[in-house]
Each structure stands twice: as C-alpha cells, then as structure tokens.
Amino acid sequence: MDKSLKLSEKLFCLAVNPKKGGIYLNATAAITMTLTGSVFVELKQKGFVFINRGMVHLVNPIIQSDEILEFFLNRLRLKNKDRRMRTWIAYFHARGRKIQKLFIHHLVQKNVLRIEKRHMLFFPYNRVFLKDPVMVDHIRKDVENALLGSSVLSDDLLILAMMAAKTNLLRRIFPDKVRRKLAIRNLKKLPETEISKAVQEAIVMMHESVFAVVT
C-alpha cells in the first residue's frame, strides 16, 4: 500500500465511512468544492499556480503524470486566462461526479481504497471502502490532536482541518460532542487562507442557490 497520501487524498479518505463504505451523506454536498480547494493548495505548493487577491494565475503549464493534478491543470491550460478562485471552485463543482470517480480510481490504484459491486433491486452500483481504516484513523487523530492543541499544527494539518470542517466531517473526526465543540472554537481562531475563503464563499453560494430554488 502506498501510504504517501497528498492533502486532497487524505481529505477524500476521511469522507469515506470506515464501517459501511461510501461517502458520508452529510459530506456529499461540499466534498467536490473542498477537494478542489485542496488540489489548488497542492498546485500552489508545487509552483504550478500563483494565487493573489483571489485570482489564480497559471505559472507552470507542464503536463503532469499525476492524473488528478493533470485533470485540474488541463482545464487551467484550456481556459488560458486568470480567473477567480471562487469561479474555479464552482466550475469544478459542476464536474463533481467526474472528480470523485477520478479520486476513487487513483486511490484504488494506490491500494488505499477498494470497490465492491452491489445491487439495489435490479440496479448494479459500486461502493467504495477503505482498505486500511486504521491508517485513515491515524489521519483523523492527527487532525483531532492538532485542533485540540495536543500536537503542532503544521500548514498542511491546518488546511486539512479547515477543509474537513467545511466538508461537514467534524462529527466524524470528533465523535465526542464536548471535544467537537472545543475543536469548533479553536477552528474559529485560525486564520483563513485565500483558498479556504474561496471554498467557503462557493459553499455559501451553493446553499443560497438551493434555498432560492426550494422557495
């Protein structure tokens, strides 16, 4: 098993139910937006993009062997112009099913996930499971300890914690209600990044558009 998981891969694994498999229902609405934000963090760290005042500038357009990074970079190359981070998040959110399938395929190849074929009535479907729930629980504990002040909060852990919270995964990370409330208070003290702000704006816009439709 390849245990060298990137930020976005860790987030996706946290969103998979360790017992029943599948993506947690309360995470499905925001998971693509937070995955997109996490991938853009990776692109920024690797020097492929530069983000200034919410605008994404493509710096290095070289084709990548990593299928997930290349999927995102390819869209940036095709558009060939600077766009707001929030706009990119909305763009990729509209391609959520494709992105989730891409992550599943990638993590199955890394031997981190497995797929079971199931049936509901006469309809076949695939359900994704963690191959090593213990490894993912270590990731969960890293986030838990960092938010409770039990360990050093690195930049990647900070971003992972923020994205997990925006994906509605705090209940998964903190089953205990008292510890979860403390983690929420600590999260509110943390500084938002340009990317996490853009993710939050996109989530708010999504909720507002859904509310407008149902009312």
Which sequence spans correspond to the domains of the chain?
A: 7-214
What is the three-class DSSP state of 4? coil
Beta bridge partners of 51: 56
Question: Structure tokens of 148?
Answer: 């409770």
Max CA pair span of the chain: 51
* DSSP H or E segment with residue 120: strand 113-120
Question: Structure tokens of 165?
Answer: 């919270």
Of the pLDDT bands very low, low, confident and very high (cuts 50, 70, 90), residue 1 is very low
Fold of 7-214: yeast vps74-n-term truncation variant fold (1.10.3630)
| Cα distances (Å, whole numbers) of residue 200 to 34, 85, 104, 144, 207 | 9, 11, 24, 21, 11
Q: How many residues in the chain? A: 215
**Per-residue pLDDT tens over the stretch 22-79:** 999 999 999 999 999 999 999 999 999 999 888 999 999 999 999 999 999 999 999 9
pLDDT of 213 > 50? The answer is no
Q: Degrees (nearest 5) of the Cα angle 48, 193, 195?
A: 50
